[in-house]
Amino acid sequence: MENVQLSPMEKEYIKANYKDKKASEIAVKLGKDVTVIEAAIAALKTPVASSAVKLSAFSLDPSVKIIPHTMGVIDWVLASLAALVCLVLYTYTMTPSLPAGDSGELSTASYFLGIGHAPGYPLYTCLAKIFTYLPINNVAWRTTFFAAFMSVITVFVFYFILVKLLGQNRVSRGFNPRVHLPAFLGALAYTLTYNLWSQSLQSEVYTLNIVQIAIITLIIVYWYEDVMNHRDSLKPYYGSRYLMAFAFQGGVAFANHNIIMPFAFGPVAFVAVVLFVANMRFINSIKSIAIPLISLGVMMFAVLFAGLGYVRFIMSFESNLFFPIMQNPPSIYTPVAGFFEIIFKPFTTPGLFSDILATLGDKTYLYDQTKRGMLSDPNYPLLYKGVFIVFWPMFIAFAWYLFYKFFLRKRIDGGEFDFISDITMQYYQMLFMVLFGALAYLYMPIRARGEPPLNWGQLNEARGWENLTYLFNMIHRKQYGRMGSDIPPVFLVHPGQLKMLFNIFTMQLTAVAYLIAIPGIINLAKKNIVFLAYTLFGFVSFVIPLTMYINPPADSRTEFFFQVFFLPAVMYFVIWIAFGIQFIVEYAGPAWRKMFAAETKAELAQPEAEVALPWYKRISTPQYAAIGAIVVFLSVAGCINFNLNNNHNAWADSDYIHNIMMSLEPNSILATEGGDNQVFGMAYFTMVERRRPDIKVYDQKGNVFERIYGNLMKVYPGWLPNIMDRVDQQFIETGRPYYMLWQRPGLEKLGDYYFKQYGIVYKVQPIRYLFIDQLAVYDTLAVSEYKRIASDVLKRPYEDAKVARDIALLTQEGLIDNLGGAARFRKMYPLPFAHMTNEEMYWDNYLGTGFGTNKALDRGSDNEKVNWDYLTREILINYVSQRIDLCDRRINEFRIRKDRARTPADAEKYAKAIEDQEKLKDQLFKKGKIYGNGMVSAYFQLAVKYAQRGRIDEAQNMYEAALKVEPNLYQAAMNLGAIYEQKADVDDNKEGELLKKAKEYFEYAQKKLERSARGNKAQLAQNQDYQRLSYTLQKVNASLTLPRKKLAEMRAQAEQSKDVTAYLNLITVYLQRLDLANAEWASKQALASAKLTDANTRSQIEMQLGNIYINQRRFDEAESIFRRYEMTGGVSGAVSKFMIARLYEFKQDLANAYRGYSEFLQSAASFQNDPNMRGLINFAAQMKGQLEAHFRQLEQVKQSQISAPAKAK
């Protein structure tokens, strides 16, 4: 009773000082009787079995209740205030037009109620459509505002989550600064997190996803309070209305993005545990608790095993939803019959059970979904195994439920109520609600029938079960294939991935957030141990499986794209921060009061005055200081993230598409490579804003624009290059201006064409205009020079007849004067835009590049902003790269003009122009380093540019920076090895040291390739980089064995002695070093030697010389050698036939190559036992088989009806 006489502030003073002061001192200080103080101290020292909060969680006493926080007016006000701050910040920092990445595509899909990229996002599309009607700004801004508005709702809901958790068992109504201030500051902290902020500034689906997850979490909080407050009910209580709402909301969230699947692990497990604990009072004995627990365990294991099979088999990109064709089908074959064949076939197929279990037992299934031998049986593909492995565990779970409910339970003392069976049924009902919520996906095949302008997946193309296949694959994102890298985990994840995860959570609110979150976890453990377990398990069960499944490479670019998936985990993290803020606010009072001794005896002696004080006077000065420190922390973190996310002047992405369209002449065709920035941006501006209706745009993959190459999900990959060649050739031959955004490999195979760059686009032009480009610089050139240039560009000999035809056409067009064996420049061919006579004019008209002379068009891009997002920086790096290429072309042109200048003044003018271009190029490289800071692709691209220009040291630095950011980038290691090898070639003194360094990098690259192939030798044999590394290492090892100085001595001795053996040794050494020029020299010296008398030795040297010619692409000289030996018979004749076949293969004359290999195999039949011939025979047989398959594919392509769309013509 005496303890009641103490006010709360007096109790806090006692609690803070009883360990250091005597009871009598405290009694004097507070003016209380010493017995009262002693009783209070004794109460503090007495261990309590469990606090009220802990009792509410774990006690089986039904009388223990949870006091839920009831929402009042102050909560609605504070939640609205936090949401208003979020709205103001996000709206101000939004991109004014089109953001980078998926924004163009999703804005277009929303505008037309179309279908976006897999999984289609039907919920996002329909909701964002509403916002496209806003009479503000452009459509891209409106859909971005939708994303920002979803974040505003998230913050609003998140405040309620925090206030419910922080205020549980503390205060039911009214304002409490120790509850409401941490909740409000926590909501602001979530507003300021980098991930939520950045995703709110682009038209993306993730903010809609996180608002659904926040609603689910709030439902779980309400459900928990409801269930725990019904523990005194006379029958088991499950809170079914909340569970059904949770399940339905989960299904709706799945219709937006399937990231909800790993998030659901935490809530689903939490529901099971709480239901079991809350209803344990209905279990009366050990026997009655053991059997229900075992039953629940059996059912949960079956469900988990089914989920494992679903992830491994059905979600695998290799499986397709086609039911098998039965060998003896019934008169009416139905998919149901096929389904039953699937589920019963394993019982009649020997070894299939062990096959499935072996696959599930393979620990690599989570990060390597490539097809393995055990999964390649065409009669029983992945999906069938998946259906089996999912169906039977779920069937067993349901059968066990029936067995337990109607048979097993009767044999145990389970009391009146069977809550184990009821819990099981709750989960089945929840599963039904999940499926009901996910029915939004049915919108996609229905809408696809209307053929909206953006119709990803072309769901309208299929009929019957094939339509279901399309939808199934779309929902499971199978178009994207396997995700992640091949890096093996250490325990569960790779150390590099752990570092990446640490970086992701650090950048949300700086590293200081950990100092608040850690005490927050301690505080949550004291106040609400149940929700500590829930958040910790939810965090771990979301982060670790997601990381294992995606298995991202640990580099900065992947980190940028990967971090968005962790928005739900960031929510858990901020909950801990909010409890940390509460911890600081609560414990700052008594702990700091002791330090400063600010309270007087009179103040502590008036409890009635304390109650009458307003809330702001009930907070001590130290608590105000703590709150101020937290506000400062949030302000600093907010300023950092504001700088990172301030896009209110970010025009670069929309300007990039604007600049592309400005570069296209009227009535053009534009082909894009398939990059998001290009394809999605062009889709938005051409479809939504209806700009440039005269141009026709196609994307290489046919996802957004018309499918010119057919359905890539059906086309056999081996056919695709031939299909693309044929279609592109038809487009070029339509006569319409044909532009590409990249220099397509293999253009020379489509005809006599070359790429001419106009700003940031490449136009396909007839090869004859390349002669005009050269004549514009040289004024007069020999016709033979044109033939050489055309042959180099086309990568094949350019016939004299075509040269004569081109000269005649150019003369007829009035572009040249035909001088017989030479031509003189008269005028330039018609340019796309007559007023743009050089490439600089394109750049001067481009918006927002910062690389032209018209600074009024920069629009914020010229400030060398480091905080552009990754995709935007890729655009800016592309600008830099293309502008550097223009500088090089201009420097080369000015050098030619300087050498041909007729007056010193002209020479000086061109020298000054060269100097200006070099300065501009240096500035561009500096810009590239700024834009590309931390970007592997930028470092690599800049390194290539440096290397091409002979700036080896700078190239080396860039490659090293790329390798530091991405250790698995074997290409950077290869190029570093090449740089050290190049340095060794010019430095005799350090040759050995430099070659060892080169070997180190080459072996590093080789190991990375072997690791990625996981020891698959067949895969490595087909990898050109791996083969090149093998040859290069052979060369380096040979150079290390015999340095250049010793090789020079060997050569001098051979030249002096003219000995054939010495020359043969030189040939061997030069070939090992891949020095073909010197190997050719040594071969010719050996053949010219008077000491060469052995015919066999001569034939071997000549055959080797022919092989050297082939590698030098001197095919005519090689053929003349092999033709001499072809008719001689014997081994030499057979080998000659083989080499002729190889020669034709190099020349891409596949028909003659096939004939050559066939003739070799016939002639070599008698030499099959010769070990030296066996390798050639096996190789020829393999090549013959590959060529036969190639010819069959060509025939199938010819018979297909793929042709360029009539619209393009």
Looking at residue 464, the DSSP 8-state letter turns out to be: T
| Tokens (6 digits) for 698 | 């196609």
Beta-carbon-side half-sphere exposure of residue 687 (alpha carbons within 13 Å): 27
Question: Cβ distance 663 to 761 under 8 Å?
Answer: yes
Which carries the bigger pLDDT value, residue 822 or residue 546?
A: 822
| Tokens (6 digits) for 312 | 């491994």
Question: What residue has token string 């532009």?
Answer: 739
Q: How would residue 485 be classed by pLDDT, with cut points 50, 70 and 90?
A: low
H-assigned helices in 413-555:
419-437, 443-448, 465-475, 495-509, 512-527, 529-550
List CB contacts of 936: < 8 A, sequence separation 6 or more.
555, 556, 557, 962, 965, 966, 969
Predicted confidence at residue 490, as pLDDT, reads 46
Phi, psi of 761 (to 5 degrees): -125, 160
List the one residue out of 665, 637, 713 whose CA is nearest residue 478: 713
CA distance 805 to 1017: 50
Please give the average per-residue pLDDT across 659-665, as a whole number. Answer: 92
CA distances from 58 to 236, 276, 297, 307 (A): 16, 11, 21, 30
CA distance 952 to 958: 10
Mean predicted lDDT score pLDDT of the chain: 80
Q: How would residue 2 be classed by pLDDT, with cut points 50, 70 and 90?
A: very low
* Vertex 1066: Cα angle to 1063 and 1069 (nearest 5): 155
| Tokens (6 digits) for 76 | 């609605």
Count Cβ neighbours within 10 Å for each residue of 537-563 and write b for 16 or more, e otherwise: bbbebbbbbbbbbbbbbbbebbbbebb
CA distance 288 to 972: 65
CA distance 993 to 1039: 12
| Secondary structure of 155-209 as H, E, C letters | HHHHHHHHHHHHCCCCCCCCCCHHHHHHHHHHHHHHHHCHHHHHHCCCCCCHHHH
* Vertex 164: Cα angle to 545 and 543 (nearest 5): 10
Question: Can you say how many angstroms the Cα of residue 1184 is from the centroid of all Cα atoms in its chain?
Answer: 39
Number of Cβ atoms within 10 Å of the Cβ of 442: 12
Predicted confidence at residue 934, as pLDDT, reads 80
Q: How would residue 372 be classed by pLDDT, with cut points 50, 70 and 90?
A: very low
Q: How would residue 3 be classed by pLDDT, with cut points 50, 70 and 90?
A: very low
Q: How would residue 93 be classed by pLDDT, with cut points 50, 70 and 90?
A: very high
pLDDT value at 791 more than 70: yes
pLDDT in tens, 525-546: 888 888 999 999 999 988 988 8
pLDDT in tens, 1134-1170: 888 888 888 888 877 888 888 888 888 888 877 777 7
CA distance 294 to 901: 94
Predicted confidence at residue 753, as pLDDT, reads 94
| Tokens (6 digits) for 1170 | 């010769």
List the one residue out of 813, 667, 658 whose CA is nearest residue 738: 667
pLDDT value at 462 more than 70: no
CA distance 95 to 681: 14
Predicted confidence at residue 855, as pLDDT, reads 62
Q: Is the dihedral of CA 1068, 1071, 1072, 1078 positive or negative?
A: positive
List the one residue out of 1108, 1127, 1128, 1126 whose CA is nearest residue 1118: 1108
Question: Cβ distance 757 to 882 under 8 Å?
Answer: yes
Predicted confidence at residue 386, as pLDDT, reads 65
pLDDT in tens, 897-923: 898 888 989 999 999 999 999 999 888
* Cis amide linkage into residue 693, ω under 30° from 0: no
H-assigned helices in 1076-1170:
1076-1088, 1095-1111, 1115-1126, 1130-1146, 1150-1163
List the one residue out of 184, 251, 242 whose CA is nearest residue 217: 242
Predicted confidence at residue 373, as pLDDT, reads 32
pLDDT in tens, 963-1019: 888 888 888 999 999 999 889 888 888 888 898 999 999 999 888 888 777 666 767
| Tokens (6 digits) for 185 | 């500051």
CA distance 527 to 514: 19
CA distances from 681 to 96, 129, 1074 (A): 14, 18, 47
Highest mean pLDDT pick, 92-106, 704-718, 1020-1034: 92-106
CA distance 177 to 2: 28
CA distance 409 to 412: 5
CA distances from 1044 to 171, 979, 991, 1071 (A): 86, 18, 8, 14
Predicted confidence at residue 90, as pLDDT, reads 96
pLDDT in tens, 586-612: 876 554 444 434 343 333 344 334 444
Q: How would residue 12 be classed by pLDDT, with cut points 50, 70 and 90?
A: low
pLDDT in tens, 270-300: 988 888 778 776 665 555 566 666 766 777 7
pLDDT value at 615 more than 90: no
Predicted confidence at residue 1208, as pLDDT, reads 42
List CB contacts of 852: < 8 A, sequence separation 6 or more.
840, 843, 844, 845, 846
Please give the average per-residue pLDDT across 663-673, as a whole number. Answer: 92
Q: Is the dihedral of CA 658, 663, 666, 672 positive or negative?
A: negative
Phi, psi of 816 (to 5 degrees): -135, 160
Predicted confidence at residue 367, as pLDDT, reads 29
CA distance 876 to 929: 11
Q: Do β-strands 696-699 and 761-766 pair in parallel, antiparallel, or remain unpaired? A: unpaired
Q: How would residue 719 be classed by pLDDT, with cut points 50, 70 and 90?
A: low
Question: What residue has token string 């006010």?
Answer: 7
Predicted confidence at residue 332, as pLDDT, reads 40
Predicted confidence at residue 769, as pLDDT, reads 94
CA distance 423 to 417: 12
Phi, psi of 753 (to 5 degrees): -130, 165
| Tokens (6 digits) for 307 | 């989920």
What is the amino acid identity at position 987? Answer: D
In this predicted structure, which of 103-107, 242-246, 304-308 has the lowest mean pLDDT?
A: 304-308
Predicted confidence at residue 702, as pLDDT, reads 79
Phi, psi of 336 (to 5 degrees): -65, -40
Question: Cβ distance 424 to 302 under 8 Å?
Answer: no
pLDDT value at 123 more than 90: yes
pLDDT in tens, 422-456: 777 788 788 889 989 999 988 888 898 888 998 88
Please give the average per-residue pLDDT across 868-895, as a whole number. Answer: 88
Predicted confidence at residue 823, as pLDDT, reads 93
Helix (H) or strand (E) holding 765: strand 761-766
605: buried, middle or exposed (CB in 10 Å: 19+, 13-18, 0-12)? middle
CA distance 881 to 864: 15
Number of Cβ atoms within 10 Å of the Cβ of 1090: 7
pLDDT value at 1185 more than 50: yes
Question: Can you say how many angstroms the Cα of residue 850 is from the centroid of all Cα atoms in its chain?
Answer: 29
pLDDT in tens, 229-270: 887 777 778 889 999 999 999 999 999 888 888 888 889 889
List CB contacts of 1069: < 8 A, sequence separation 6 or more.
1038, 1042, 1047, 1050
Looking at residue 747, the DSSP 8-state letter turns out to be: G
In this predicted structure, which of 55-64, 128-137, 827-836 has the lowest mean pLDDT?
A: 55-64
Which carries the bigger pLDDT value, residue 284 or residue 896?
A: 896
pLDDT value at 228 more than 90: no
Which carries the bigger pLDDT value, residue 1012 or residue 32?
A: 32
